[in-house]
Amino acid sequence: MTKVRTLIVDDEPLARERIRHLLEGEADIEVLGECEDGVTALATIRDQNPDLVFLDVQMPELDGFELLAQLDPARLPAIIFVTAHDQFALRAFEVHALDYLLKPFDLERFQGALTRARQWLDRRKNENVDNRLAALLAELRNPATGKFQDRIAVKAAGRVILVKAEEIDWVEAADNYVNLHVGSAAHLLRETMSSFEQRLPPERFLRISRSTIVNLDRVRELQPLFHGEYAVILADGTRLSLSRGYRDRLSVLLGKE
């Protein structure tokens, strides 16, 4: 279970104690500590990077709003304001607080705020994961790096699967996709044959027709056909065609290059 790393910030000891007590029954909450003023809280947030902060508005030296103004907006934790004064409510939401607990609050109200924080953190986590996956996919699909890739990222059933290039038996064109044949499995990838060919090491893979790329290590046999075409038989019995327009590749298949 991933813990929600939580900081309690309030200048009143009884207020901090009550929040800590309410959090004790929450298995996914890890209380990092308590701060009694804004200056200490600012340093603690920057140092420990909590996921969630229960933040009092009125504190000595630095109030809750002033504290938020000094934090990096891109790394803000989930903020639940806690205060005895309802006149701060509108401003709290203007600075993107998730919720606003008006003292005294009951357990139901507290748990409602906690649920909102969990949901917000889950969404942010998923967005971060999606962004990282998008970056990974872009990196793995970018032939401009000048490097051939030993892993190919494909999406399947909501997951991203990394296929080792050496495990691909052959590749066929399928409209706007390429179909990677890997043993008994097949993976569709939205890409043209020409761009995908650039991602594969040429010493291992050979294009034998407009619609087919083959892993040379899988070729078992060549059978001559009519008009300069050949049947390319793979180790598993798959039968492919070397078209006449690609006859200049024959020497590679015969091991003469």
Which two three-digit tokens encode residue 7?
A: 């900081």
- The pLDDT value recorded for residue 163 is 86
21-36: average pLDDT: 92
Other Cβ atoms less than 10 A from the Cβ of 236: the count is 12
The domain ranges of the chain are: 4-137, 147-253
Under DSSP, the state recorded for 232 is E
CA 67 to chain centre: 30
* Backbone torsion region of residue 96, taken as left when φ is above 0, otherwise alpha when ψ lies between -120 and 50, otherwise beta: left
Q: For domain 147-253, which architecture applies? A: Beta Barrel (2.40)
pLDDT (tens digit per residue) in 244-257: 888 777 777 666 44
Q: Cα angle at 227 between 224 and 231, to 5 degrees?
A: 30
- pTM of the predicted model, to two decimals? 0.52
Strand partners, 7: 33, 53
- The pLDDT value recorded for residue 145 is 47
Q: How far apart are CA 3 and CA 107, in angstroms?
A: 21
- The answer as to CATH 3.40.50.720 being correct for domain 4-137 is no
CB 209 within 8 A of CB 194: no
Backbone angles phi, psi at 104, to 5 degrees: -85, 140
Q: Quick check: do 4-137 and 147-253 share a fold?
A: no
pLDDT (tens digit per residue) in 194-237: 888 888 888 889 999 999 999 999 999 888 887 778 889 999 99
